[in-house]
Amino acid sequence: MVEALKKNPAWKGRKGPVVLVIMDGVGYGKYKEGDAVADSKMDHLEALKAKSPHTKLKAHGKAVGLPSDEDMGNSEVGHNAMGCGRVFNQGAALVSQSIASGAMFAGHAWKEITAGVKDRGTLHFIGLFSDGNVHSHLDHLKAMIKQAKAEGVKKVRIHVLFDGRDVGETSALEYLDPFEAFLKDQNTGGFDAKIASGGGRMWITMDRYGANWPQVERGWKVHVLGEGRQFASAREAVETYRKEIPGIIDQDLKEFVIAEKGEGGKLFPVGTIEDGDAVVYFNFRGDRALEITAAFEEDAFDKFDRKRRPKVCYAGMMEYDGDTHVPKRYLVSPPSIDRTMGEYLAATGVRTLAISETQKYGHVTYFFNGNRTGKFNEKLEDYIEIKSDIVPFEQRPWMKCAEIADKVIEAVESLKYDFIRLNFPNGDMVGHTGIYQAVVCSMEAMDIQIGRIAKAVEKTGGVMVITADHGNSDDMYEHDKKTGAVSLKSDGSPKAKTSHSLNPVPCIVYDPAWQGEYPAKPGEGSLNEGLGISSIAATCIQLLGYTPPEGYDTSALKL
């Protein structure tokens, strides 16, 4: 339990609430070409920026707890940082440290995983097949395969989920070919490791927040049951789907099963999951790991017909939900995030609303609260989830931003809440499609809603803080790292970039009822500079009239 926040006696108060607007995936672009944010007509955001103090915040790399400043930020670590006001080492760094030190392989979970399959059975690995370092990293998979072989495991099967979001949209073969060479080098002395199944991350297995269970079912069928279109190799599957579906990108590649000829010349899947096997889901990030984990672990599972549920020793790379302790077995412990902003606000009696649509609902609740499910105080906190459409985001680029704004405006004008936090997913979810026109549409749709919320804030005498968790829509084209030139496809058009960016994000403090407590001259310079998004927590706490807790990162306000 934390103590209540201390009042700032110099704060003169505001009649309305503090509203934190998180524009998911919206940063300041480095390049003019491909910056869909700058290309969009965002009159409301620009007007607020012109009359408010603002600065740029770091939202990637070490500023959000990732190993290096070459690592892109993501929504999970971004919301962790904003919600807890400090920087904790995050998934990729923790896993890499655990492997390097040997702690993972000395742990009880790894020993359980390998012990049961040394003499018989198969060790299966399922996960995102790239080095994007957002959900997973291939180096982690390779290290585990090497260790399994060293410990006497004889048979390994890998079920690959092609990326195309955190890395190049059609880069699958750039990862696949070297990995097949790696497996060939490992397959000596009776060791047998093969790719068994796969597909694109947005087509199989990696759904989140219960938005699309059929996606998980497709993954279950190919990984576990071996049901699906058969190919001789993963490369053949990728090349075939690219020929059959022009323009398809890796994240949408259809499911496939690798098969070999058995007795009588009949084709058999090389790696179904059977009783006595072991399974490691090697993604370290939790949001897109919970559903496939439930399919393996839950007795009363009712989301789809599993047909059969093999009795396996299952482990996740990390604990994906610290409150419900899912999965039961995990290889690396996640950071212990305590003293979050939400906990302090509840202890202080601050009335709070958190709202987004399904795609980012968990970010303004679970991740913002330090990977904690549930509320700190049921009486003081309300959470609202607007159900997302289950359609490709480029077909509905406005997503649910209007519905979110409707609820927020109602909440602001009711004066029921002191602090409201919301997430507009548009810049991230539509940005990942790589469809430039759709991203511009999504930005302009979101801008209209920001303008509406600003009017409600002004009407009630509140404050609005506008920021983002990372960049994405600000960097929609691939660029040559040395020259900065746009990379082109064979037809001469720009090559789309579907991953996050390394760009800074906005911090705009719109305070129409400002009473002189801090410098508020419009433009840059009135706010502290050189900060990361972890500063958002202290900033909001100060705007609520309290003193930030000891150890919190510096506020953007010069108070």
DSSP string, 51-88: TSBEEEEB-SGGGGT-SSTTSPP-HHHHHHHHHHSS--
Q: How confident is the model at residue 499 (pLDDT cuts 50, 70, 90)?
A: confident
Q: What is the mean pLDDT of residues 87-93?
A: 85
Cα 382 from chain centroid (whole Å): 23
Each domain of the chain, given as residue ranges in start order, spans 19-89+336-547, 92-332
CATH number, domain 19-89+336-547: 3.40.720.10
How many whole angstroms separate alpha carbon 193 and alpha carbon 280? 14
CATH number, domain 92-332: 3.40.1450.10
Q: What is the mean pLDDT of residues 314-323?
A: 84
Kindly state the percentage of the chain with pLDDT values over 70. Answer: 99
The answer on pLDDT for 401 being more than 60 is yes
Would you state the pLDDT for residue 322? 61
Q: How confident is the model at residue 343 (pLDDT cuts 50, 70, 90)?
A: very high
Can you tell me which residue has the tokens 């509905």? 396
How many whole angstroms separate alpha carbon 393 and alpha carbon 427? 11
More confident residue, 72 or 50: 50
Would you state the pLDDT for residue 320? 83
pLDDT tens track for 12-65:
999 999 999 999 999 999 999 999 999 999 999 999 999 999 999 999 989 998
Q: What is the mean pLDDT of residues 62-88?
A: 90
The Cβ of residue 469 has, within 10 Å, a number of other Cβ atoms equal to: 34
Would you state the pLDDT for residue 323? 54
Burial environment of residue 336 by CB neighbours within 10 A (0 to 12, 13 to 18, 19 or more): exposed
Asked if residue 132 lies in contact with residue 167, where contact means CB atoms within 8 angstroms, the answer is: yes
Please give the positions annotated as active site: 75
The pair of structure tokens assigned to 99 is 């492997």
Asked if residue 251 lies in contact with residue 169, where contact means CB atoms within 8 angstroms, the answer is: yes
Q: How confident is the model at residue 400 (pLDDT cuts 50, 70, 90)?
A: very high
Asked if residue 373 lies in contact with residue 366, where contact means CB atoms within 8 angstroms, the answer is: yes
More confident residue, 264 or 198: 198
Q: What is the mean pLDDT of residues 247-273?
A: 94
pLDDT tens track for 326-335:
899 999 987 7
Would you state the pLDDT for residue 525? 76
Q: What is the mean pLDDT of residues 176-185?
A: 98
The answer on pLDDT for 86 being more than 90 is yes
Tell me 393's DSSP state. G
The answer on pLDDT for 148 being more than 90 is yes
Would you state the pLDDT for residue 397? 98
pLDDT tens track for 502-549:
999 999 999 999 999 999 888 767 899 999 999 999 999 999 999 999
Distances (CA, A) of 344 to 157, 349, 382, 417: 46, 9, 16, 15
Would you state the pLDDT for residue 524? 67
pLDDT tens track for 214-233:
999 999 999 999 999 999 99
The answer on pLDDT for 321 being more than 80 is no
The answer on pLDDT for 261 being more than 70 is yes
Would you state the pLDDT for residue 67? 76
Q: What is the mean pLDDT of residues 118-130?
A: 95
The answer on pLDDT for 251 being more than 90 is yes
| Residue burial 43-60, b: 16+ Cβ < 10 Å; e: rest | ebbeebbeebbbbbbbbb
pTM (predicted TM-score): 0.74
Can you tell me which residue has the tokens 């960097």? 475
Closest Cα partner for 370 from 4, 135, 79? 79
